[in-house]
């Protein structure tokens, strides 16, 4: 095990806060002990990281900045420990000098111990990564392996059709085990370990899981903020390596008796940047994510899709609970993220894997996160169900809530406020209503098999699967509920109300060529036109609107 030791100052801001350590280290050494867990896709499942991907333009700017030796970076790299208590394992440990007993600040040394993960096999790193997940969610260690997923991974890896799918562990069981995606990540990891047990040779990656990425989750410290500054400093040094003057210095060291390795180490220590580090001694992943989200929202804001993905999927339920009130107090939209996460990650949802996550490299044509937030809010908060219209301005979800929620027995409560509290809670009735409604819309109006159809459910090029059409349909449903004064006493009532609402409606409404080439769908005129066409059609659904009408801007 390799050790790095630095002079450091430890301080606390309050009695309840964790110790924070300030020190300086050269950039290459930092990269040896600080992992950068990026939020990315490991094949079919997302990682548990939270860092954004590297931006090349920012890297190039920093390389240029670092090239001037007098330029300095004052903001420290923000890191956090993964293990600060068990000195028999890799970790970060601070020892105060013998005369340092201050209550809020102490001088001393920080020791960082690192395993040589690069010498390990892919399987060994997978096992260690799996064990780290089990430390976070202990019940994972006792969970059953998803045989269907295992067979699918083996079939893909070995290119062998003899592995057939089974239903030994249902997707619902996974959801019950852990509401975040940590359980899915554990399953994907364990299945790859089992697959490698049967492999004759061991690769450096297996179906999206590569050793380098896994190591970033195992290093003793986590990079919370500053990955560009670190990578930029290393990249700038790499541009200097082949300069004649540095090569001459290396030769002189070797001539003086140093080995080539020692000579390179001396050059690195002399020329690579020494960067300031601020490291919080907290081993809690929840604290790491909290620090990342808050720091970045105050600096370079994270796009809404990625923020929602990070907040809702990086932590287990227990971890998220520990920092939820602090995230809310820091104006982080936690409840929005959790609600959208349910709608897009519950396998029963027709929007499963069809909403933007903000992760680099994801497929196009997904529903934007902000649009999904609005659609979810119509059902969860019972607000926002409005037609695109200058004359009809009613919020029909709010109208139904005020007229009929109190008399609907689908939720308990003695008054409207109490009913609404139960309706929109984490396990509230809104979730089942949402699922039933949108599954019915998909099944009645959409096509999930043919992406060439105009009503394809899965790409925003579709006439159906887009912001405008989905908003109009949800709004019209709530208009029906409020106008017909429909009470919802059970989920069965939801299904029957949808059936009644759609009486006489032609199910091919969205499955026609609306001749939209070169037409910007999400524009005020088109939104109003589609709303008007649907509302007029619903008044007398004997004849579908002419397809030529959909490309005409309202009032044009």
| Residue 176, pLDDT score | 33
> Is residue 459 pLDDT above 70, yes or no?
yes
pLDDT tier at 163 (50, 70, 90 boundaries)? very low
Give the 3-state DSSP-derived string for 325-375, with helices as H, strands as E and coil as C.
HHHHHCCCCHHHHHHHHHHHHCCCCCCCCCECCCCCCCCCCCECHHHHHHH
Q: Across the chain, what does the average pLDDT equal? A: 85
- Here the tokens at position 360 are 């680099």
User: What is the model's pTM?
Assistant: 0.60
Q: What is the mean pLDDT of residues 200-228?
A: 87
- Above 50 in pLDDT, residue 120? yes
pLDDT surpassing 70 at residue 172: no
Taking the C-alpha atoms of residue 402 and residue 97, their distance in angstroms, rounded to an integer, is 66
Question: Which of 210-219, 418-427, 535-544 is the least confident region?
Answer: 210-219
| Cα 27 from Cα 230, distance rounded (Å) | 6
pLDDT of residue 141: 87
The predicted pLDDT at position 527 comes to 95
On the question of pLDDT at 291 being above 80, the answer is no
Residue 108 belongs to what H/E stretch? strand 105-114
| 207 or 415: which leads in pLDDT | 415
Q: So what's the pLDDT on residue 52?
A: 47
Q: Which helix (H) or strand (E) holds 205?
A: strand 205-206
Q: Please list the residues that pair with 205 across neighbouring strands.
A: 210
pLDDT interval class at 483 (50, 70, 90): very high
DSSP H or E stretch at residue 91: strand 91-96
| Residues 125, 214 contacting (CB under 8 angstroms) | yes
Q: Give the residue extent of every domain in the chain.
A: 2-115+219-283, 122-215, 363-549
Could you tell me which residue, 41 or 255, shows the higher pLDDT? 255
Quick one: pLDDT at residue 319? 66
Residue 274 has pLDDT above 60, yes or no: yes
Nearest Cα neighbor of 286 from 224, 241, 208, 352 is 224
* Mean per-residue pLDDT, 18-37: 93
Q: What's the chain's length in residues? A: 556
More confident residue, 1 or 480: 480
| Residue 73: pLDDT over 80 | yes
Q: Which residues contact 413 (CB under 8 A, 6 or more apart)?
A: 406, 419, 420, 421, 422
Q: So what's the pLDDT on residue 21? A: 95
399/58: higher pLDDT: 399
Segment 523-543 mean pLDDT: 94
> Which two three-digit tokens encode residue 107?
């001088």
- pLDDT level of residue 499 (50, 70, 90 thresholds): very high
């Amino acid at each position: 095990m390799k050790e790095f030791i630095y002079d450091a100052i430890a301080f606390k801001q309050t009695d309840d806060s964790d110790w924070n350590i300030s020190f300086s280290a050269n950039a290459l050494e930092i990269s040896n002990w600080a992992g950068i867990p990026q939020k990315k896709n490991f094949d079919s499942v997302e990682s548990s990281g939270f860092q954004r991907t590297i931006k090349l333009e920012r890297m190039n700017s920093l390389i240029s900045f670092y090239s001037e030796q007098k330029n300095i970076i004052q903001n420290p790299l923000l890191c956090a420990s993964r293990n600060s208590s068990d000195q028999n394992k890799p970790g970060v440990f601070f020892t105060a000098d013998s005369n340092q007993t201050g209550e809020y600040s102490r001088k001393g040394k920080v020791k960082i111990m690192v395993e040589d993960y690069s010498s390990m096999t892919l399987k060994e790193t997978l096992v260690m990564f799996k064990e780290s997940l089990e430390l976070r969610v202990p019940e994972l260690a006792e969970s059953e392996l998803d045989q269907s997923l295992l067979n699918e991974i083996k079939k893909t890896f070995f290119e062998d059709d003899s592995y057939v799918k089974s239903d030994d562990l249902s997707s619902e069981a996974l959801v019950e085990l852990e509401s975040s995606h940590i359980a899915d990540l554990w399953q994907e990891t364990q299945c790859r370990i089992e697959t490698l047990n049967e492999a004759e040779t061991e690769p450096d990656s297996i179906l999206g899981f590569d050793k380098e990425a896994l190591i970033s989750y195992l290093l003793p410290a986590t990079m919370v903020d500053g990955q560009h500054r670190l990578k930029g400093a290393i990249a700038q040094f790499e541009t200097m390596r082949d300069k004649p003057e540095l090569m001459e210095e290396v030769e002189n060291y070797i001539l003086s008796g140093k080995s080539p390795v020692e000579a390179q180490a001396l050059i690195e220590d002399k020329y690579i940047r020494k960067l300031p580090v601020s490291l919080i001694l907290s081993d809690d992943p929840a604290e790491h994510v909290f620090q990342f989200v808050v720091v970045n929202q105050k600096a370079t804001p994270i796009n809404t899709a990625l923020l929602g993905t990070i907040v809702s999927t990086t932590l287990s339920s227990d971890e998220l609970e520990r920092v939820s009130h602090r995230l809310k107090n820091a104006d982080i939209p936690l409840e929005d993220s959790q609600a959208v996460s349910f709608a897009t990650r519950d396998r029963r949802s027709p929007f499963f894997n069809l909403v933007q996550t903000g992760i680099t490299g994801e497929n196009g044509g997904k529903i934007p996160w902000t649009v999904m937030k609005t659609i979810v809010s119509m059902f969860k908060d019972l607000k926002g169900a409005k037609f695109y219209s200058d004359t009809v301005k009613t919020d029909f979800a709010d109208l139904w809530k005020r007229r009929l929620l109190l008399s609907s027995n689908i939720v308990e409560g003695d008054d409207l406020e109490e009913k609404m509290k139960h309706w929109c809670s984490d396990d509230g009735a809104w979730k089942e209503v949402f699922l039933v409604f949108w599954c019915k819309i998909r099944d009645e109006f959409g096509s999930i098999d043919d992406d060439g159809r105009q009503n394809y459910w899965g790409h925003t090029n579709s006439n159906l699967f887009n912001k405008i059409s989905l908003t109009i349909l949800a709004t019209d449903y709530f208009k029906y509920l409020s106008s017909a004064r429909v009470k919802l006493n059970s989920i069965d009532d939801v299904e029957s109300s949808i059936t009644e609402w759609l009486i006489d409606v032609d199910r091919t409404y969205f499955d026609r060529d609306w001749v939209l080439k070169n037409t910007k769908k999400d524009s005020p005129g088109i939104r109003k036109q589609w709303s008007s066409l649907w509302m007029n059609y619903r008044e007398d659904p004997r004849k579908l609107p002419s397809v030529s009408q959909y490309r005409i801007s309202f009032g044009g």
